[in-house]
Amino acid sequence: MRRIISILMENEPGALSRVVGLFSQRGYNIETLTVAPTEDETLSRLTMTTTGDEKKIEQITKHLNKLIEVVKLVDLTEGAHIEREIMLMKVKATGAQRAEVKRTVDIFRGQIVDVTATVYTVQLTGTTDKLEAFIAAIGETQVLEVVRSGVSGISRGEKVLSL
Amino acid sequence: MEMLSGAEMVVRALQDEGVEYIFGYPGGAVLHIYDALFQQDTVNHILVRHEQAATHAADGYARSTGKPGVVLVTSGPGATNAITGIATAFMDSIPMVVLSGQVRSDWIGDDAFQETDMVGLSRPIVKHSFMVRDPRQIPEMIKKAFYIANTGRPGPVLVDIPKDHTAPHNTFPYEYPKKVKMRSYAPVTRGHSGQIRKAVDELLKAKRPVLYAGGGVVQGEASQALTALARKLNFPVTNTLMGLGAYPGSDEQFLGMLGMHGTYEANMAMHNADVILVAGARLDDRVTNDARKFCPGAKIIHIDIDPASISKNVAAHIPIVGPVKQVLEEMLTMLDEQGEVGTDTKSLERWWQEIAGWRKVHGLRYETNEQGPMKPQQVVQALYKATKGEAYVTSDVGQHQMFAAQHYLYDRPRQWINSGGLGTMGFGLPAAMGVQFAHPDAVVACVTGEGSIQMNIQELSTCLQYGLPIKIININNQALGMVRQWQDMQYGGRHSQSYMESLPDFVKLAESYGHVGMLVEKLEDLDGAMEEAFALKDRLVFMDIYVDPTEHVYPMHIADGSMRDMWLSKTERT
Ligand SMILES: Cc1ncc(C[n+]2csc(CCOP(=O)(O)OP(=O)(O)O)c2C)c(N)n1
Ligand SMILES: [Mg+2]
């Protein structure tokens, strides 16, 4: 089961290392992790994706909640939510490939943000599935470099994660 | 407002926190703090001989009083020496505040002399940690450290203090916060009443109930409530290694300890139970044996202050997150309100008969031999007799620990003090020091082995300095007995490195440290020697007692089995 866990925590030095340490110490997976300050500078928002059976996920959320600096936590996958990840990618773009890559980028509603004679730099936003589908469509042999931000997420509707 | 240096603020905060004792060892990074300590006399500093002992002594103080133990160590090696004791306290949820010196803040990260990333090193073994970044933070950080250490599920908290932040020439206004407010930390104060009601209904329906209580009942001051509940319902009680004393050990309704070396009757009752109330215990692997085979017919009601302890190893049917004392008291109130108790007394009567049958098997029996060497169990029984069951008993780790858990009956919470979760050899003597400081007039015995005692033997010197009249009961089997037992049972008797050769003459050793040493080799001398030792009220006595090196601890769970799968002796199993 893949889960997106979203955490509000005190924006203090060392807080992130406790979260990451917890995962290695207890043998949990982190697939993606993003963290940045929020509109309230005393708080950071951390989003992570992880996998595990129900029991493991329950332990993960309980242990995260126990960390003193964690103020609030939600498992976004428990309800309707929006998830986004941004990807920057360098793709070989020579000869006939140039037009083909451009078409694929358009289909996926990506943007070409930098160009050289042989390389396109593509920016694409979407769910993890969409980004993976894009990589598959371009063809791994064409891909020179991939940078992904990790998943960010927010719940749908009026529910907010705040103090 | 009063102006104080960082070092003075540290000491003043400890005073304001009501700290009586601080266990520590000086060094460069904490010299400013030591200088501030020197200039006052409210907080008594106890100079140990190794920082590990400082943490265990603080731990023993905490376990025997319920108040946080306090430690002060220097940076680098001082801090790393404290690690084992911090981990020991963490595993057993003991409140502790550790102040560690750090190199000056502008040198951090430069591999300065005696620099260690103590916050990083200790991260997985503390409840929380702070690094002082500005001297003005000191009062609030210390206040928070004590608050976090001693509320919710207790545990050790570290405060790392760079040397420059304690410098005597920089002073700051000092005010100790009266209250702590933390938006990110709010330990539960009540269990869910609906869940408690459900649990009570389940208990009343039970035909074969067991109350299984752990260290949380001791830590959470819930022994009275537990005892009242057990008496009211007439249910059998078993305690974990950490919970011994939570329910009176000499009481009729007590089945003894459960788990790997639990009694036959406790483990059989657990396996056959239909309702188990787990109170302040965590169903750890030393208790459950194979968790998948654990008590197949039982509904589990689990009370714990830490939600992460519930349904971790064994799924709970009725989880109750809350302070165990409050939850048990609410159960009692519910029972009181309904007048007649309403348990299934017929079934209970049959259940007690069944238990009586198991008791007859008597899983704690052992063979004695008038001619041969003394048995370790006899030593613990003699200790029980000589101290009338009233001593504080600390122990180290190994066979002697299990014998001390099985054969000394603890009637009071906080009376039995051992490293259950981490199993730290070297814990016993320094822990006994902490207990003796907290209870200067009490009888304190440390049951140890010739292996364990050598892991913190240097503390005999501390004991002399402070005149601590601890009685050390060294159950000397000339072997790392517990290791040897496993090698006998699982490795074809190949005693790889479990033989303790070249033992010191412990009597002379004790004497050279200024204490009394006694050698006991024969059973007929045992009781007399104990009497004599305990009559020496103001001396530390080191009793070196030679016992049968081939003895094993039984019962013993058969690995990967259920609760009822046990060896009862070298030849009999269930
Ligand atoms: C610090 C530490 N190292 C190793 C162990 C593993 N261990 C557990 S019991 C034991 C033997 C202890 O020997 P002793 O103190 O003589 O006690 P006995 O079992 O003989 O009664 C050992 C080595 C441990 N628990 N702690
Ligand atoms: Mg031994």
Helices assigned H by DSSP within B362-493:
376-386, 399-407, 428-438, 459-465, 481-490
- What is the C-alpha separation between B514 and A87, in angstroms, rounded? 72
B 165-184 residues with CB below 8 A of A? 182-184
Q: Are B63 and B34 within 8 A, CB to CB? A: no
Token output for B371: 């001619």
Given this model, what pLDDT does residue B361 score?
87
Query: Can you identify the CATH homologous superfamily of domain B193-361?
Result: TPP-binding domain (3.40.50.1220)
For the CA of B376, the nearest atom of ligand 1: 21
Contact B539, B515 (CB under 8 A): yes
Would the CB of B398 count as within 6 Å of ligand 1?
yes
Q: ipTM, 2 decimals? A: 0.92
- pLDDT at residue B470, as a whole number: 98
Q: Could you identify the atom of ligand 1 that is nearest to the CA of residue B400?
A: 21
How far away is chain B from the Cα of A158, in angstroms, using its nearest Cα? Answer: 23
Say which CATH topology domain B3-173 has: Rossmann fold (3.40.50)
Residue nearest to atom 2 of ligand 1 (CA): B425
Closest CA to B361 of B277, B264, B289: B264
Judge: A14–B129 Cβ closer than 8 Å, yes or no.
yes
Sequence ranges of chain A with CATH classification 3.30.70.260: 2-79
Q: Which residues neighbour B19 within 8 Å (Cβ) at sequence distance 6 or greater?
A: B43, B70
In Å, what is the CA distance from B269 to each residue of A90, B208, B384? 67, 8, 26
CA proximity to B466, closest of B540, B541, B560, B384: B540
For CA atoms B72, B75, B79, B81, the dihedral sign is: negative
Distance separating alpha carbons of residues B22 and B6, to the nearest angstrom:
18
Whether B3-173 and B193-361 share one fold: the answer is yes
Domain ranges of chain B: 3-173, 193-361, 376-553
Bridge partners (DSSP) listed for residue B444: B392
Q: Which CATH class is domain B376-553?
A: alpha beta
pLDDT at B369: 83
For domain A2-79, is the CATH number 3.40.640.10?
no
Burial (CB count within 10 angstroms: exposed 0-12, middle 13-18, buried 19+), residue B423: middle
Give the pLDDT of residue B343: 94
From B315, which residue of chain A is nearest by alpha-carbon distance?
Answer: A55
Q: Please, how many CA atoms are within 13 Å of residue B242, restricted to the half-sphere of its CB?
A: 29
Angle separating helix axes B376-386 and B399-407, nearest 10 degrees? 50
The pLDDT profile of chain A, 163 residues, written as one tens digit per residue, is 899 999 999 999 899 999 999 999 999 989 999 999 999 999 999 999 999 999 999 999 999 999 999 999 999 999 999 999 999 999 999 998 899 999 999 999 999 999 999 999 999 999 999 999 999 999 988 999 999 999 999 999 999 998 8
Question: CA B35, B37, B41: angle at the middle one, nearest 5?
Answer: 135
Q: Report the chain A residue with the minimal C-alpha distance to residue B311.
A: A55
A-contacting residues in B 97-156 (Cβ below 8 Å): 119-120, 123-124, 127-129, 131, 133, 148
The string of DSSP letters for B160-174 reads: EEEGGGG-TT-EEE-
DSSP per-residue codes, B454-491 = GGSTTHHHHHHHTT---EEEEEE-SB-HHHHHHHHHHS
Q: For B34-62, what is each residue's pLDDT tens digit?
A: 999 999 999 999 999 999 999 999 999 99
CATH of domain A82-152: 3.30.70.1150
Query: H or E segment at A125?
Result: strand A119-126
- What span, in angstroms and rounded, lies between the C-alpha atoms of B308 and A22? 13
Task: List the alpha helices (DSSP H) in B162-281.
Answer: 193-205, 215-219, 223-233, 264-272
- H/E stretch holding A155 reads strand A152-155
Ligand nearest to the CA of B399: 1
Digitized pLDDT (tens) for each residue of chain B, 574 residues in all: 899 999 999 999 999 999 999 999 999 999 999 999 999 999 999 999 999 999 999 999 999 999 999 999 999 999 999 999 999 999 999 999 999 999 999 999 999 999 999 999 999 999 999 999 999 999 999 999 999 999 999 999 999 999 999 999 999 999 999 999 999 999 999 999 999 999 999 999 999 999 999 999 999 999 999 999 999 999 999 999 999 999 999 999 999 999 999 999 999 999 999 999 999 999 999 999 999 999 999 999 999 999 999 999 999 999 999 999 999 999 999 999 988 889 999 999 999 999 999 999 877 989 998 888 999 999 999 999 999 999 999 999 999 999 999 999 999 999 999 999 999 999 999 999 999 999 999 999 999 999 999 999 999 999 999 999 999 999 999 999 999 999 999 999 999 999 888 999 999 999 999 999 999 999 999 999 999 999 999 999 999 999 999 999 999 999 999 999 999 999 999 9
Which pTM value belongs to this model? 0.96
pLDDT given for residue B340 in this prediction: 84
The reported pLDDT for the residue numbered B86 is 98
Element (H, E) at A114: strand A111-115
Whole-angstrom distance, CA of residue B135 vs CA of residue B130? 13
Residue B472 pairs in a beta bridge with B446, B542
Contact residues for B333 (Cβ-Cβ < 8 A; gap 6+): none
Q: Quick check: B454 and B370 in contact, CB under 8 A?
A: no
Q: In what order do the strands lie in the sheet with A43-51?
A: A32-37, A43-51, A2-10, A70-75
Residue of B482, B489, B496, B547 to mutate, ligand 1, most atoms within 8 A of C-beta: B482
The CA distance from B407 to B56, in Å, is: 24
A17 contacts in chain B (CB < 8 Å): 120, 123
Which residues of chain A does CATH 3.30.70.1150 include?
Answer: 82-152
Are the C-beta atoms of B520 and B545 separated by less than 8 Å?
Answer: yes
Task: Compute the distance between CA of residue B535 and CA of residue B426 in angstroms, rounded to an integer.
Answer: 26
Q: Residues B317, B273: contact at Cβ < 8 Å?
A: no
Nearest CB among B120, B184, B307 relative to A71 is that of: B184
The partner residues of B545 in beta bridges, in order of sequence, read B475, B520
- Partners of B471 in beta bridges: B445, B541
Strand order in the sheet with B318-321: B254-257, B237-239, B209-213, B275-279, B299-304, B318-321
- Compute how many other C-beta atoms are within 10 angstroms of the C-beta atom of residue A127: 14
Residue B423, CB half-sphere, CA atoms under 13 Å: how many? 10
Cβ atoms of B92 and B125 within 8 Å: the answer is no
Q: How many CA atoms, within 13 angstroms, populate the side-chain half-sphere of residue A128? A: 14
Distance, in Å, from the CA atom of B132 to the CA atom of A118, rounded to the nearest integer, reads 53
Q: How far apart are CA B206 and CA B350, in angstroms?
A: 12
- Please state the separation of Cα B261 from the chain's center in Å: 17
